[in-house]
Copies of this chain bind each other. A is one copy, B any other.
């Protein structure tokens, strides 16, 4: 709600993917300048330093700038780089929290991340660069949420089993969560790779843990 109020006052909107464009279309004034800075997996894209510079440049020119990100700025959004750039330039700013797909995608598929008996903790990470992760630590948490894991599902499944998760551990993959085009698969570490074979999975969220086997809503 606060974010839509700010968007309605924007003179410049700097936005990226994951739903941000739709919000700009719906709420930003027609006269506001639109700057798209989305990064796309596998294609050359704008560098973070350039995005920081664009925001600072418009703000120091005295314009009301709204930097709109899909999801919540707290999660894999590089928001701190932008905050630091604004601070260094002496620009006043406000950061609004958002609805993170890490939490919203499981709900859209019909289950929460915590449960009194099945999940007392969850961990969120990015599977963009699976080799850099501490799989021993991640495998030990009740529920694991992996963002940007569309192309590394097989590797995720292998690493978790190597670090002690049973082949029977429930897994859900949710693609384009909460959109009319949403698709979701439920299976186990042992079954999910063959279940999703041949499917385009990006953008998706992978959830591993017993909550992923909670009864699917019948709607």
Contacts and interface: CB of A to CB of B under 8 A. Distances in A.
A123 B126 contact: no
Interface stretch (A37-45, A55-63, A108-116, A179-187): A108-116
A36 interface: no
Contact of A111 (B80, B114, B120): B80
Interface residues of A, number: 55
A76 B123 CA distance: 14
A6 interface: no
Given A97-B103, A98-B99, A99-B99, A141 B115 contact: no
A219 interface: yes
A162 interface: no
A67 to B, nearest CB: 13
How many of these chains are in the complex?
A: 2
Nearest to A77: B112
A4 interface: yes
Given A87-B217, A112-B77, A123-B121, A103 B141 contact: no
Nearest to A101: B97
Interface string A78-111: 1110011001000011010111100110111011
5 contacts: A75-B113, A77-B112, A77-B114, A84-B215, A87-B218
A-B residue pairs, 9 tightest by C-beta: A137-B140, A97-B104, A121-B125, A74-B103, A123-B123, A74-B112, A74-B113, A97-B99, A72-B103
Interface of A: 1, 4, 72-80, 83-84, 87, 92-93, 95, 97-100, 103-104, 106-108, 110-116, 120-126, 132-134, 136-138, 140-141, 178, 211, 214-215, 217-219
